[in-house]
């Protein structure tokens, strides 16, 4: 079950700013899966995703003083994560690791083999289709449909106009719909 994007843990920001060491740990515990999830879907490799996710929190740790506190901590972390992922994807020396494990599936009980085959095929197709999206569309789709951010939050995290978010998301979904036609 997807974690719903709730408010930041109460008082966390104040504790972080006061240099409370436990507060940083709370921050990492609260957001580790979401930050890692974005990195995994963007980069496709668990090892690379962990490296980037770790870097996201270390940067946040160093830059806490600059955090304006207008946005939510989560939006801020998503912004750092998105930027680091896009930078990594744009770096010329990045080894080409096409997403072999970019997506997890639903480990729900599967009554019969036919359903399992179908789900496995769907997972593979989804993974492939998302990995093939252009990066600037992929990040919008990931933040919206996998992480549950609002259009406004995405616009803020990616420093984009609201309309740009809307049209990129529209194109990303359109592209997925065409690729996943046989499953829909």
Partner 1 sequence: MSCAESRDLLSAHVDGALAPDERAALEAHLAGCAECRRELAALERTVALVRAIEPARAPAGFVDRVVTAARPTPWSTRLARRLFVPWPKIPLEAAALLLVAGLAVMLFRGSVDQQRLARHESAPPAAEAPATTQEPARQVAPPAEAPRPMTERPTPAPSALDGARPRSDTGAKVQAPASERARAPVEEEKRAEPTKDSSSEAAVGELRRDGAESQTRERAAESDRVARSAAQRPAAPAAPPPAGAAGTATPLSRTGPGTGIPAPPPDVTARLRTADVTGAERALSELAARVGGRRTGRRIDGGLVVVELAVPGDAYAGFLREAAGLGALSVERQATERPVLNVAITVSN
Residues that bind partner 1 in the complex, under the rule CB under 8 A: 2-3, 21, 24-25, 28-29, 32-37, 40-41, 46, 49-50, 53-54, 57-58, 61, 100-101, 103-107, 109-117, 119-124, 126, 130, 141, 144-146, 151, 166-167, 169-170, 173-174, 176-177, 180-181, 183-184
Residue 136 or 145: the one with the smaller Cβ distance to partner 1 is 145
Q: Write down the least CB distance from residue 106 to partner 1, Å.
A: 5
Q: Which residues lie closer than 8 Å to 184 by C-beta, 6 or more apart? A: 177
Residue 14 or 118: the one with the smaller Cβ distance to partner 1 is 118
Instruction: For residue 131, give the 3-state DSSP assignment.
Output: helix
CA atoms within a 13 Å half-sphere pointing along the CA-CB vector of 145: 17
Residue 100 or 132: the one with the smaller Cβ distance to partner 1 is 100
- The dihedral through the CA atoms of 154, 44, 146, 136 has a sign that is positive
Rounded to 10 degrees, the C-alpha dihedral 52/56/61/62 comes to 80
Residue 30 or 92: the one with the smaller Cβ distance to partner 1 is 30
20's tokens: 């409370």
Do 74 and 5 form a contact (C-beta atoms < 8 A)? yes
Residue 3 or 132: the one with the smaller Cβ distance to partner 1 is 3
How many beta carbons lie within 10 A of that of residue 165, not counting itself? 23
């Amino acid at each position: 079950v997807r974690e719903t994007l709730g408010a930041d843990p109460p008082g966390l920001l104040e504790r972080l700013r006061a240099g409370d060491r436990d507060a940083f740990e709370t921050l990492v515990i609260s957001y580790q899966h979401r930050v890692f999830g974005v990195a995994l879907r963007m980069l496709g490799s668990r090892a690379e995703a962990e490296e980037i996710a770790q870097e996201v929190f270390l940067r946040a740790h160093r830059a806490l003083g600059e955090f304006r506190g207008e946005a939510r901590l989560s939006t801020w972390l998503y912004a750092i994560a998105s930027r680091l992922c896009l930078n990594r994807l744009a770096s010329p020396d990045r080894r080409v690791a096409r997403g072999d494990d970019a997506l997890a599936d639903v480990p729900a009980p599967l009554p019969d083999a036919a359903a399992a085959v179908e789900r496995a095929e769907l997972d593979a197709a989804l993974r492939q289709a998302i990995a093939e999206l252009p990066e600037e569309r992929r990040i919008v789709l990931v933040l919206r449909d996998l992480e549950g951010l609002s259009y406004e939050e995405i616009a803020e995290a990616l420093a984009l106009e609201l309309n740009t978010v809307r049209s990129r998301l529209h194109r990303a979904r359109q592209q997925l719909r065409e690729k996943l036609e046989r499953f829909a």
